[in-house]
Amino acid sequence: MAGLTLVTGAGGFIGGHLVRDLLAQGITVRAVDKKPLEEWYFRSPEADNIVADLQLADACDRAARGVADVYNLACDMGGMGFIENNRARCMLSVLISTHMLLAARNQGVERFFYSSSACIYPAHKQTNADVTALKESDAYPADCEDGYGWEKLFTERLCRHFREDFGIKTRIARYHNVYGPYGTWDGGREKAPAAISRKVAMALITGKREIEIWGDGEQTRSFMYIDDCLHGTQMLLHSDVEEPLNIGSDELVTINQLVDVVEEVAGIQLKRHYKLDAPKGVRGRNSDNTLIKAKLAWAPGIPLKVGMEKTYRWIYDQAKAREEGRPYIAAAA
């Protein structure tokens, strides 16, 4: 099965999109996730779809057989509410990454992509809403997001040493807030773009012209549309870039401005209530894209309004169908 590509976490949001994109290019794909097939965000029949728990070494070894390239996206994660309340669960994803790297070594995998996160960056560099964009070199001295961020940073180092010691071409992306259609939009694991879209959609559907915002709404973030994520991920895997790279938009907005964008798309204005004791993460975070532009001559550039319009309209359709008792995509596992 020369040229076979493995996508782990293929039942999730980014993984599902990636499988579809690879298949559209004529690439042979093995897709693996621990969720039952009926709970996958996408289930592409053209792929070799396997249900397996990749926390187990034997499952990783079977998944990697005959594989040339690995996109390792599998982990236990969600939005800030999930991350702050499930630190041990997030850290246990290290079992997936460790066993997948060992399997890649044992099975002669050529290239191994690891999806890290902007949560590895030090908290003390993200205390102001008017944040200085984070450069890759800012990762050390380390002061990561507790739980999830530390697991990601540890695995970055593990990838580096597997490259140095065993010759696997490991590539690492630090994702910044990926969003888009066919992602989690309810249930506790959704991130801000999906949560805001759902709340605006429900306000329109129910006629209750109010919205709850976590924090004071002045915390800042950048949000990357899924198409940019897919493009950057594949470019990085097939590049000669050995150090971790930010893959994220540098279009910095407040959460209040994110709400403004969704309200404009929906054609509605809502009364805002601020839940100041809700999980809200760091005060400000943005991606410095200097290095990715230098290394790949590219950076994410899809405007927030363009991506949010597509995202909101998909979530509105799902929320409307749910309210009316019609079939909908929950995408919340």
Q: Are 72 and 113 in contact (CB under 8 A)?
A: yes
What is the sign, positive or negative, of the torsion defined by CA atoms of 234, 330, 225, 250?
negative
- Active-site position among 71, 121, 148, 316: 148
> For this structure, is 148 an active site residue?
yes
Compute CA 124 distance to the chain's CA centroid, rounded to the nearest angstrom: 23
Task: Write the pLDDT tens digit of every residue in 203-253.
Answer: 999 999 999 999 999 999 999 999 999 999 999 999 999 999 999 999 999
In the chain, domain spans:
4-178+224-247, 179-222+251-323
Task: Write the pLDDT tens digit of every residue in 155-210.
Answer: 999 999 999 999 999 999 999 999 999 988 998 888 899 999 999 999 999 999 99
Q: Give how far Cα 328 sits from Cα of 40, 89, 302, Å.
A: 13, 28, 27
Instruction: Name the pairing type of β-strands 67-72 and 111-117.
Output: parallel
Over range 271-284, report the average pLDDT.
91
Predicted confidence at residue 240, as pLDDT, reads 98
> CATH assignment of 179-222+251-323?
3.90.25.10
> In CATH terms, is domain 4-178+224-247 a member of 3.40.50.720?
yes
Q: What tokens appear for 164 in the block? A: 């140095």
Within this chain, domains 4-178+224-247 and 179-222+251-323 share the same CATH topology: no
Model confidence, pTM: 0.94
Reported as a pLDDT band with limits 50, 70 and 90, residue 2 is very low
- Phi and psi (nearest 5°) for 147? 85, -90
